[in-house]
Amino acid sequence: MDQKDILVQVKDLEVYFYNNQRCNKAVRGVSFDICRKRTLGVVGESGCGKSVTASAIMRLLPQLARIEKGSITYNSEENGPIRVDRLEANGRIMRSLRGQEMAMIFQDPMTALNPVYSIGFQIGENLQYHTAMNKKERREKSVDLLRSMGIPAPEQRVREYPHQFSGGMRQRSMIAMAMACDPQLLIADEPTTALDVTIQAQIFELIEKLKETRETAIMLITHDMGVVTELADDVIVMYMGNIVERGTVEEVLRTPAHPYTQALLESIPILGKGKNQVLEPIKGSTPDPFNRPPGCQFAPRCDYCHERCSSMPEEVSLGGTHGVRCWKSGGKPV
Ligand SMILES: Nc1ncnc2c1ncn2[C@@H]1O[C@H](COP(=O)(O)OP(=O)(O)OP(=O)(O)O)[C@@H](O)[C@H]1O
């Protein structure tokens, strides 16, 4: 991958939550790239740090969170590289990037849509902030966006309010809002969790189309390895704040190396294997983030756990872009 293909570069990012003098190291030194025109799947169980990592990229972290170490560099086509780290948090730059160059869609569209404004007004607001379009042009663009997201009768729908839309249409409207200024990066945080399967498939199709037609880079956050298989080009597997495995989807699916990735894959049905296939849930549960085991965080649940797992190994390369942090795969001391 060429340097010019990298849109976002996350380096050694550590994000901590401070609460009642206790510290939750939610993201623990993660590094990865999001490449132009590719979908990066971020997969892992609830609480592993997927959303916090995404919020750090958008610089929309909750109040108790702090970027403790590391940096995020956004390679803007218009403004060149923009680096965000603990010391450098230029609100003005981030405000101009959000919406215009990077946008995010959430699990529950109602958290992002304002119930008292029409859908058209909310899409138009983004255009008003970032473009010189007049009111008529903004209305026309909002109608076009709704149409391109597959919303029927967009001329009428644009005047309606979120409560008049179904769940799937709200999610489509949120994608329309996010795509209003043609951002280069779309972060989709579990965008279909609240939707039924047929609507889920339609939303995924829409996201896929965005990558192809608008060349958007997509960071797709999910706890579902099946979704990653369907949609992503590259994948990072997170567990308790660490990236434990990474690679192209093909590399990771063909030869999953980390016991956690293997367990995730064993817990999803495989097409063509027949209805008698046995799905293995991952035994145990994630540790208390305020009282973590030393070393590899997966060790207490791992069948291959060994004395050396009380320290965390460095990532080892398995060829190509495939990397893993596990002693079993030849991990080296950090
Ligand atoms: N607003 C917050 N205040 C305190 N701790 C938080 C907050 N948001 C997240 N955390 C903590 O940060 C860690 C990572 O959470 P995060 O939301 O990134 O997980 P996730 O992988 O996205 O999970 P989910 O799939 O459930 O959204 C967790 O230990 C969580 O408890």
Pocket flag, ligand 1, residue 289 (CB < 6 Å) = yes
Ligand 1 mutation target, pool 52, 108, 236, most atoms within 8 A of CB:
52
Which residue's CA is the closest to the ligand 1 atom numbered 5? Answer: 17
Question: Would the CB of 50 count as within 6 Å of ligand 1?
Answer: yes
Question: What is the model's pLDDT at position 55?
Answer: 93
CA angle 323, 227, 107 (to 5 degrees): 110
DSSP count for the chain of H helices, then E strands: 11, 12
Backbone angles phi, psi at 97, to 5 degrees: -75, -40
Residue type, 261: T
50, 290, 292, best to mutate for ligand 1 pocket (most atoms within 8 Å of CB): 50
Among 13, 15, 17, 64, the mutation site with the greatest number of ligand 1 atoms within 8 A of its Cβ is: 17
Reported as type and span, the H/E element at residue 248 is strand 242-248
Residue 103: beta bridge partners?
186
- Of 334 and 65, more confident: 65
* Structure tokens that stand for 271 in this block: 């097409």
For residue 50, pLDDT over 70 is answered with yes
Sign of CA dihedral 230, 279, 263, 301: positive
Task: Report pLDDT digits (tens) over 129-182.
Answer: 888 999 999 999 999 999 988 899 999 999 999 999 988 889 889 888 888 888
Residue 141: enclosing H or E segment and its boundaries? helix 135-148
Residue 323 near ligand 1, beta carbon < 6 Å: no
Indicate the top mutation candidate among 25, 28, 51, 244 to test ligand 1's pocket, ranked by most ligand atoms within 8 A of CB.
51
Tell whether the model's pLDDT for residue 296 goes beyond 60.
yes
* CB 110, CB 162: distance < 8 Å: yes
Answer yes or no: is the C-beta of 47 below 6 A from any ligand 1 atom: yes
Instruction: Decide: 189 in ligand 1 pocket, CB within 6 A.
Output: no
Is residue 83 over pLDDT 80? Answer: no
Structure tokens at 72: 């995020």
Please state, rounded to an integer, the average pLDDT across all residues of the chain. Answer: 89
CB distance 239 to ligand 1 below 6 Å: no
Please report where in the chains the tokens 């010189």 appear, as a residue. 132
**Confidence grade of residue 9 (pLDDT, cut at 50, 70, 90):** very high
- Look up the pTM and report it: 0.91
Q: For ligand 1, atom 28, which residue shows the shortest CA distance? A: 47
Q: Where are the domains of the chain?
A: 110-182, 258-324
The closest of 310, 306, 285 to 296, measured between CA atoms, is 310
Q: Spell out the long-range contacts of 2-7 with Cβ–Cβ below 8 A and sequence spacing 24 or more.
A: 4/75, 5/35, 5/36, 5/37, 6/33, 6/34, 6/35, 6/36, 6/75, 7/33, 7/34, 7/35, 7/36, 7/74, 7/75, 7/184, 7/185, 7/217
Question: Which ligand 1 atom sits closest to the C-alpha of 44?
Answer: 21
The predicted pLDDT at position 316 comes to 95
How far the first Cα of the chain sits from its last, in Å, is: 26
| Ligand 1, atom 3: closest residue by C-alpha | 64
Residues 323, 256 contacting (CB under 8 angstroms): no
